[in-house]
Chains A and B, each alone.
Chain A
Amino acid sequence: MKNSYKNQNIAFFLLFLSTLLIVVPVGLIVLVIIQKGLPAINWQFLSDMPRQGMRAGGIFPAIIGTVYLVVGAIMFALPIGLLSAIYLSEYSKDDLLTRLIKLAIVNLAGVPSVVYGLFGLALFVVFFKFGVSILSGSLTLGIMILPVIITTSREALESVPQSFREVSLSLGASKWQTIRHIVLPNAIPGILTGTILGLGRAAGETAPILFTVAAFYLPRLPKSVFDQAMALPYHLYVISTQVPNVDEKIRYGTAFVLLTLVLFMNLVAIIIRYKFRKKKKW
């Protein structure tokens, strides 16, 4: 008996150790980036063009480029993703087709991000002749975040109690009216959560934009959706590996801005989810 408790203590210690091995580095990574990146942040860094081959100046065009890309991606992915979620939650039957759709979503979520880049290059840049442009990059990112939006929206829609639907239908409302006036309004927090998570994902990805939109060095703002753009994650890649002698401060500063942007969106999503779970009326 004593022996089995001793074993238990050893085992639990090892489990605790593995947890520490994950959590401590995560904390350190975030801390290091904050500690070294925060001093680099000032208004000039955020609002200036890069200068001297990106060795000085700010990262303004990269921030703006990322905003354009993310907004474009969401404009494409939200309508399609939401309608797709409505289909799965409200219209699909439990049949082979639905199984296939769910499998396709799982696969879409698993496709390596660089393969999305290839796909975007082949379809949007070359086949549709959109060129290396914000449009191509946004559409590529949009397809990539589709599974996130579909999955979270579907969960949100399905968590609306069935009884609300029955009540609405029993009062003579049509199915679409029921979805539009009862199901959707009550699923908005969940849909919003999914949308923001998708935004965060799109903002942080590099591989899909490598050959579809990203400009190495473009010290001006893009003029139209057919223009190239800089983007934060690609910019960080470039100044860390492609350009020698970049001040460490600028690298950390860029990493800090990107990380803050992505984590901020995740935080907002978590807060929305938490608040509405507490406030739920039924």
Chain B
Amino acid sequence: MVKFEVHDLNIWFSSIHALKQVNLEIRSNEILSVIGPANSGKTTFLRTLNRLNDLNAAFKMTGAVELERKDIRGIDIEELRRKIGMVFALPLPLPLSIFENVVYGVRMQGERNRKKLEEKTEQALRQAYLWEEVKGRMDESAFKLSGGQQQRLCIARTLAVDPEVILFDEPCSGLDPISTAKVEDAMVKLKEKYTIVLVTNNVKQAARVGDRTAFFLSGELIEIDATDKIFTAPQDKRTDGYIRGRFG
């Protein structure tokens, strides 16, 4: 089943043409890895999906992005963002307690029942493999956690809202290898229930977890295909070059 369809997407920030004529689809319950060198437009692409680019006053877009055949600009923006969770490049806990971080999105929907919130928290933290490490410290500041724990807290926070899609924006760029492995494990498990788009600088990570891989270069989508194919027999010379580390 197709989750997202992107048609003729062009994006500008003032006069900078950040994405050029992108067409692709994202399937339900897959992990789509998005790779490419810095400034290739991959993060811009990701932030288009949950309309976070709208915050930038210079942002302009043409073409269409459809979530389950509905144009995302026609969906209530808060509902859209609840459906499409996002994990950012750096661990970004809110300046609140661990508990309040996890329930933030749920609270904003108006849920006040303490018991329900606690259930939600435990469930989300278990899914993010963090429950055992933090269960006695719910009221501590989230800033007291280690970097890896903070990033998993951010995943739990996203899961607590019951999204359908999770966008990961280079989620391991600030983490050590062990924390990275934990986050990757979590992602692969999450695939059963969620659709995942993973933007990464780390080509090996894309190969490890992605079902399909898209390669962006200078705002253009060069190639999208099954991860195996991209990594063994890419159609485009530039894809081959990037994967082999010739540039980027």
**A41 in the interface (beta carbon within 8 A):** no
Distance between Cα atoms of A171 and B79 in the complex (Å):
10
**CB-defined contacts of A173 to chain B, threshold 8 Å:** 78, 104-105, 108
Q: Are A172 and B81 in contact (CB under 8 A)?
A: yes
Q: What 1/0 flags go to B207-227 for Cβ under 8 Å of A? A: 000000000000000000000
Q: Are A171 and B88 in contact (CB under 8 A)?
A: no
* Segment touching B, from A19-27, A159-167, A245-253: A159-167
Q: Out of A93, A167, A172, which one reaches B94, CB within 8 Å?
A: A167
Q: Out of B57, B95, B104, which one reaches A171, CB within 8 Å?
A: B104
Known A94-B57, A173-B108; contact A167-B92, beta-carbon cutoff 8 A: yes
Known A164-B95, A281-B95; contact A172-B55, beta-carbon cutoff 8 A: no
**B12 in the interface (beta carbon within 8 A):** no
**CB-defined contacts of B161 to chain A, threshold 8 Å:** 171-172
Q: Which of A167, A168, A182 has the most CB of B within 10 A?
A: A167
**B143 in the interface (beta carbon within 8 A):** yes
**A169 in the interface (beta carbon within 8 A):** yes
Q: Out of A166, A168, A172, A182, which one reaches B82, CB within 8 Å?
A: A172
Distance between Cα atoms of A172 and B52 in the complex (Å):
11
Distance between Cα atoms of A282 and B143 in the complex (Å):
9
Interface size of B in residues (CB-CB distance below 8 Å): 25
**A177 in the interface (beta carbon within 8 A):** yes
**CB-defined contacts of A164 to chain B, threshold 8 Å:** 92, 94-95
CB proximity to B under 8 Å, residues A228-246: none
Known A163-B88, A281-B143; contact A172-B108, beta-carbon cutoff 8 A: yes
Q: What 1/0 flags go to A252-282 for Cβ under 8 Å of B? A: 0000000000000000000000000000011
Closest B residue to A171 using CB positions: B105
Closest B residue to A172 using CB positions: B82
Q: Chain A nearest CB: distance from B81 CB in Å?
A: 5
Q: Chain B nearest CB: distance from A161 CB in Å?
A: 9
Distance between Cα atoms of A167 and B158 in the complex (Å):
10
Known A164-B94, A181-B108; contact A169-B141, beta-carbon cutoff 8 A: no
Closest B residue to A93 using CB positions: B57
Q: Are B95 and A170 in contact (CB under 8 A)?
A: no
Q: Are B104 and A170 in contact (CB under 8 A)?
A: no
CB proximity to A under 8 Å, residues B77-101: 78-79, 81-82, 85-86, 88, 90, 92, 94-95
Interface residues of B, Cβ cutoff 8 Å to A = 50, 52, 55, 57, 78-79, 81-82, 85-86, 88, 90, 92, 94-95, 104-105, 108-109, 141, 143, 154, 157-158, 161
